[in-house]
Amino acid sequence: MTDTILFLKYLAVMAGVTYLIRMLPLVLIKKKIENVFIKSFLYYIPYAVLGAMTFPAIFSSTGNVITATAGCVTALILAWFEKSLLTVAAFASAAVLAAQLILNLL
């Protein structure tokens, strides 16, 4: 019973923090943002956060840094050439598999 109550307390705190993070900018900032620096900062934040969440997951997902690097490099090259998300994911996964098979043979 106490685990359930503790979980509900944590859930309530997380819900409150999430709500405040989303609600406060809407309430506090009423006028249009004119500052070029702030507009640029807000434009690039989603990309920075996505990168900060994705890259550690990439390098810990396979359990081997070499195979993860092979997949990451493959994905970056294909993304650079503006291939579709499905193509990038499929070829990056294939690169990880190929690297793992090669490492198993060595």
Domain assignment present for residue 4? The answer is no
Selected residue with higher pLDDT from 91 and 38 = 91
Average pLDDT, integer, range 82-86: 95
43 in any annotated domain: yes
Q: Based on the structure, what is the number of domains in the chain?
A: 1
Residue 11 has pLDDT above 90, yes or no: yes
Which residues fall within 8 angstroms of residue 92, CB to CB, at 6 or more apart? Answer: 71, 72, 74, 75, 78
Phi, psi of 63 (to 5 degrees): 80, 0
Cα 26 off chain centre by: 25
**Percentage of residues of the chain with pLDDT beyond 90:** 59
22 within some domain: no
Helices and strands, number each (H, E), in the chain: 4, 0
pLDDT tier at 1, thresholds 50, 70, 90: low
Q: Is residue 69 part of a domain?
A: yes
Whether the pLDDT of residue 105 is over 70: the answer is yes
Q: Which domain holds residue 44?
A: 31-105
Query: Rounded to whole angstroms, how far apart are CA atoms 56 and 51?
Result: 9
Mean pLDDT of 3-32: 89
The rounded distance, in Å, linking the Cα atoms of 92 and 83 is 12
Mean of all residue pLDDT scores within the chain = 91
